[in-house]
Amino acid sequence: MSMLVLTLITGVGLGALYFLVASGLSLIYGLMHVLNFAHGAFLTLSAFIGWAVAQALGTASWGAFLLSIVVGSLVGAAFATLTELILIRPLYERHIEQVLVTVGLSFAAVALFEGIWGTDAINVSGPPWLRQTTEVLGARIPNTYWVLMIAAALVLAALVLFLQRTRYGMIIRAGVENRSMVTALGIDVRRSFTLVFAIGGAAAGIGGVLAMHYTTFVSAHLGSTLLIFAFIVTVIGGLGSLTGAAIASVLVAVLQQFANSYLNGTGDFIVVILLAVVLLVRPSGILGRKA
């Protein structure tokens, strides 16, 4: 029983991490139809800067931990904003060029990070509580998973409230549906689209800082590794659907954890099979719009 509980809860926690990484990716594609392969670079840079902040203030401090998350989100937002302004804005509706540019940026970013911080992984430590466990029905759950779940829930709620309840959220949704009409009303849609990229980068930044605490290390390839699962989650959930991404994140991670625990570590293989089935049976994803 305890093994079942442990596998289920850690699967949900891992799904929360996947959602933190995939939420910005899904948001950017859903509202702007840009497949951003440089999303992992936002995450990695945020993790490195968050690690540097925590090192400067003392890694065992909760203040340093929380500040590193805030700084990570700001770094991710800034990196994403510059990417949109310089590289993406001239290429709207030119999807092949967008893919080539963002893939190139991701490779260049990894090389840059290796040049600055080295090729070896850097061990990360945080507040001692994160390394402790909490007992649930006889299962000892690492506390890191609870932090991931809380962060994912807050990010999802914030994104939904922003899109549904704020003026800029309404402008963004209107601009996606009919950009020329919104522009004719005197509203600068380009500024709103830049804001979408910034929000997506901020979500990636939060995910990056928490990902390094989950893995207990940070390296130049941290974002690239997580980006693979983020794309799988985004496709299964439905391109552009935040709710679909949240459901798919939990589904993929729980399935992965159970396969790793009970099927001799075949979690990644099972996830790829699930992706293939979804693409064959429902290409639009769980909550994606049918073409």
Q: Which helix (H) or strand (E) holds 218?
A: strand 217-218
Give, in order, the Cα–Cα distances in Å from 281 to each of 80, 189, 202, 236, 267: 34, 36, 33, 11, 21
pLDDT of residue 99: 87
- Give the model confidence (pLDDT) of 121-168 as tens digits: 888 888 888 888 888 888 888 899 999 999 999 999 998 888 888 877
pLDDT tens for 243-254 read: 888 899 999 999
pTM: 0.89
pLDDT score recorded for residue 70: 94
- Give the residue ranges of the chain where pLDDT is below 70: 1, 173-189, 288-291
**What integer pLDDT is reported at residue 46 of this predicted model?**
93
Tell me which H or E stretch contains 197.
helix 189-215
> What does the block give as tokens for 11?
């699967």
The whole-angstrom separation of Cα 59 and Cα 47 is 14
Under DSSP, is residue 187 helix (H, G, I), strand (E, B) or coil? coil
Q: What pLDDT is attached to residue 291?
A: 45
- If residue 144 lies in a helix (H) or strand (E), which one and from where to where? helix 143-165
pLDDT tens for residues 97-106? 888 999 999 9
Predicted pLDDT at 50: 92
Output the pLDDT for position 288. 64
pLDDT of residue 74: 95
